[in-house]
């Protein structure tokens, strides 16, 4: 199996080699086929002025709150949960400015249980919350 995969990898490399011209650029006919005929080649000198100037920042957060109330006499119960997820991203695409992403998320829960029988009475309540925030910056 490794032998077959190796042959496939070599074959793909051989097929991909003619795509690039001797100068390392994609030939104009290939750009035309891809619908990119309006693209122009950027000189290495111009490329060096913007190379490495972009940045990206990403944050992610998750909050979870849950609760369970059980009446010990009747074994009656109630369960509740809340989950909240937040994502944020930012990108400057080469403008050499700060990329800053931030998020905030929160979850809240309120459950109550009231059980009354001829021999007992149970009243319970849970109120809870969870949350957080985050930020990331890159330049």
Q: Clarify whether residues 86 and 109 are in a common domain.
A: yes
DSSP 71-93: -TTT--EEEEEEEEEEEEEEE-T
Cα dihedral 96, 98, 103, 104 in deg (nearest 10): -170
Predicted local confidence at residue 6, as pLDDT: 57
- The pLDDT tens digits of the residues spanning 63-119 come to 999 999 999 999 999 999 999 999 999 888 766 678 889 999 999 999 999 999 999
| Residue 48 belongs to some domain of the structure | no
Q: Clarify whether residues 57 and 37 are in a common domain.
A: no
| Residue 31 belongs to some domain of the structure | yes
Q: Clarify whether residues 123 and 77 are in a common domain.
A: yes
Predicted local confidence at residue 21, as pLDDT: 47
Strands (DSSP E) along 33-139, which ranges?
A: 56-70, 77-91, 99-116, 121-138
Domain hosting 104: range is: 53-138
Q: Clarify whether residues 109 and 129 are in a common domain.
A: yes
Predicted local confidence at residue 54, as pLDDT: 79
Contact 122, 73 (CB under 8 A): yes
Model pTM score: 0.52
In the chain, what's the furthest Cα-to-Cα distance? 92
| Residue 132 belongs to some domain of the structure | yes
Distance CA 56, CA 31 (A): 28
Q: Clarify whether residues 22 and 62 are in a common domain.
A: no
3-state secondary structure of 48: helix
- The pLDDT tens digits of the residues spanning 32-54 come to 888 888 877 777 788 777 777 77
Predicted local confidence at residue 14, as pLDDT: 46
- Pairing relationship of beta strands 121-138 and 56-70 according to DSSP bridges: unpaired
3-state secondary structure of 36: coil
Q: Clarify whether residues 57 and 118 are in a common domain.
A: yes
Predicted local confidence at residue 77, as pLDDT: 94
Total number of domains in the chain: 2
pLDDT band at 16 (very low <50, low <70, confident <90, very high): low
């Amino acid at each position: 199996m490794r032998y077959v995969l190796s042959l496939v990898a070599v074959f793909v490399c051989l097929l991909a080699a003619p795509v690039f011209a001797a100068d390392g650029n994609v030939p104009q006919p290939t750009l035309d086929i891809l619908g990119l005929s309006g693209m122009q080649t950027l000189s290495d000198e111009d490329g060096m002025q913007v190379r490495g100037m972009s940045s990206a920042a990403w944050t992610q957060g998750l909050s979870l709150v849950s609760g369970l109330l059980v009446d010990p006499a009747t074994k009656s119960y109630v369960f509740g949960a809340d989950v909240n997820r937040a994502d944020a991203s930012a990108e400057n695409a080469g403008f050499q400015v700060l990329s800053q992403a931030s998020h905030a998320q929160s979850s809240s829960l309120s459950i109550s249980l009231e059980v009354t029988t001829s021999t007992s009475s149970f009243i319970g309540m849970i109120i809870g919350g969870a949350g957080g925030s985050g930020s990331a910056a890159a330049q």
